[in-house]
Chains A and B, each alone.
Chain A
Amino acid sequence: MNEALTLISFGPDGWGDEIASGVLITISLAIATLPFGLILGFFIALAKKSEEPSLRMAANIYTTIFRGLPELLTLFLVYFGVQIAIQQGLRLIGVETFVEVNSFVAGMVALAFVFSSYASEAFLSAFRGIPQGQYEGGYALGLSRFKTLRLIIFPQLIRLALPALGNLWLILLKETALVSVIGLADLVRQSGIAARVTKEPFLFFGIACLIYLVLAMISSFGLTRIEAWSKRGDVVR
Chain B
Amino acid sequence: MTAANPTTGTAAPPPRARPWTKSKILGHVLMAVWILSGAYLVFYLTTNIGSPFFARYWREYVDGFLVTLQIVSLSLLIGAAISVPIAMARSSSWKLLSGPAYAYVYFFRGTPLLAQTFLIYYGAGSFRPELQAVGLWWFFREAFYCVVFAFSLNTSAYQAEILRGAIQNMPRGQWEGGQALGLSRPVIFFKIILPQALMVALRPYGNEIILMIKGSAIASIVTIYDVMGETRRAYSRSYDFQAYIWAAVLYLMIVETLRRVWDRIEERLTRHLKR
| Whole-angstrom CA separation of A81 from B122 in the bound complex | 31
B123 touches A201 (CB 8 A): yes
Q: Answer yes or no: A139 CB below 8 A from chain B CBs.
A: no
Which residue of the partner chain A has the closest CB to B38?
A61
Q: How far is the CA of A68 from the CA of B33 in the complex (A)?
A: 20
Q: A54-B31, A69-B252 are in contact. Are A77 and B214 (CB under 8 A)?
A: no
| Number of A interface residues in the complex (CB < 8 A) | 49
Are the CB atoms of B27 and A202 closer together than 8 Å? no
Contact A212 B31 (CB under 8 A): no
Q: What is the bound-complex CA distance between A175 and B215, given in angstroms?
A: 10
CB-defined contacts of B136 to chain A, threshold 8 Å? none
Cβ-defined contact, A70 with B217, below 8 A: yes
Q: Does A223 contact B (CB under 8 A)?
A: no
Cβ 8 A contact of B122, one of A73, A80, A170, A195 = A195
- Mark each residue of chain B from 205 to 224: 1 if its CB lies under 8 Å from any CB of chain A, else 0: 00000000111111011000
Which listed residue, A52, A61, A68, A195, touches B255 by the CB 8 Å rule?
A: A68
Q: Which residues of A contact B31 (CB under 8 A)?
A: 54, 57-58
Closest Cβ neighbor of B18 among chain A residues: A52
Chain A proximity of B146: nearest CB distance (Å): 12
Q: What per-residue 1/0 map shows which CB atoms of A178-202 lie under 8 Å from chain B?
A: 1011000000100010010001111
Interface status of A158 (Cβ within 8 A of chain B): no
Q: Which B residues are in CB contact (< 8 Å) with A201?
A: 118-119, 122-123, 125-126
Interface status of A40 (Cβ within 8 A of chain B)? no
Bound form: Cα–Cα A47–B29 in Å: 13
Contact with A along B34-72 (1 / 0, CB 8 A): 100000000000000000000000000000000000000
B256 sits at the interface (CB 8 A): yes
Cα–Cα distance between A175 and B113 once the two chains are bound (Å): 9
**Chain A interface main SS type:** helix
B residues contacting the other copy or chain, number (CB 8 A)? 48
Answer whether residue A36 sits at the interface, using C-beta atoms and an 8 A cutoff.
Answer: no
- A55: B residues at CB distance < 8 A: 23-24, 26-27, 30
Q: For residue B119, which residues in chain A have a CB less than 8 angstroms away from its CB?
A: 201-202, 205-206, 208-209
Taking CB atoms, residues of chain B closer than 8 Å to A175 are 112
Q: Which of B23, B110, B127, B231 contacts A212 (CB 8 A)?
A: B110
Assess the A50–B23 pair: CB atoms within 8 A: yes
B256 pairs with A68, CB closer than 8 A: yes
Q: Are A205 and B252 in contact (CB under 8 A)?
A: no
Output the nearest chain A residue to B33 by Cβ-Cβ distance.
A58
On whether A213 and B30 interact (CB within 8 A), knowing A68-B252, A192-B118, the answer reads no
A54 touches B244 (CB 8 A): no
Q: Give the distance in Å from the alpha carbon of A217 to the alpha carbon of B216 in the complex.
A: 26
Is B189 on the interface with A (CB-CB < 8 A)?
no
Interface centre among A51, A57, A205 (most CB of B within 10 A): A205
B178-216 to A contact mask, C-beta < 8 Å, 1/0: 000000000000000000000000000000000001111
Q: How many angstroms between the C-alpha atoms of A70 and B61 in the bound complex?
A: 16
Is A80 touching B241 in the complex (CB atoms < 8 A)?
A: yes
Q: How far is the CA of A192 from the CA of B218 in the complex (A)?
A: 15
User: Is the CB of A18 closer than 8 A to any CB of chain B?
Assistant: no
**Alpha-carbon distance between A217 and B107 when the two chains are bound, in angstroms:** 11
A47, A72, A177, A205: the one contacting B123 at CB < 8 Å is A205
Q: Is A76 an interface residue (CB 8 A)?
A: yes
B251 close to chain A: CB less than 8 A: yes
B98 at the A/B interface (Cβ < 8 Å)?
Answer: no
Cβ of A64 under 8 Å from chain B? yes
Partner of A209 from B115, B247, B248, B259 at Cβ < 8 Å: B115
- Docked-complex contact A209 and B122, CB < 8 angstroms: no
Interface: A101 (CB within 8 A) = no
The residues of B that contact A199 with a CB separation of less than 8 Å are 125
Binding site for A on B (CB under 8 A): 21, 23-24, 26-28, 30-31, 33-34, 106-107, 110-116, 118-119, 122-127, 213-218, 220-221, 228, 231-232, 235, 241, 244, 247-248, 251-252, 255-256, 259
Q: Which 4 A-B pairs have the closest CB atoms?
A: A55-B27, A54-B27, A202-B123, A177-B112
- Which residues of A are at the interface with B, using a C-beta cutoff of 8 A? 47, 50-58, 61, 64-65, 67-73, 76-77, 80-81, 84, 170, 174-178, 180-181, 188, 192, 195, 199-203, 205-206, 208-209, 212-213, 216-217
11 extra A-B contacts, CB within 8 A, seeds A201-B123, A209-B116: A52-B23, A55-B26, A56-B27, A69-B251, A70-B217, A72-B217, A80-B244, A188-B115, A205-B122, A209-B107, A212-B112
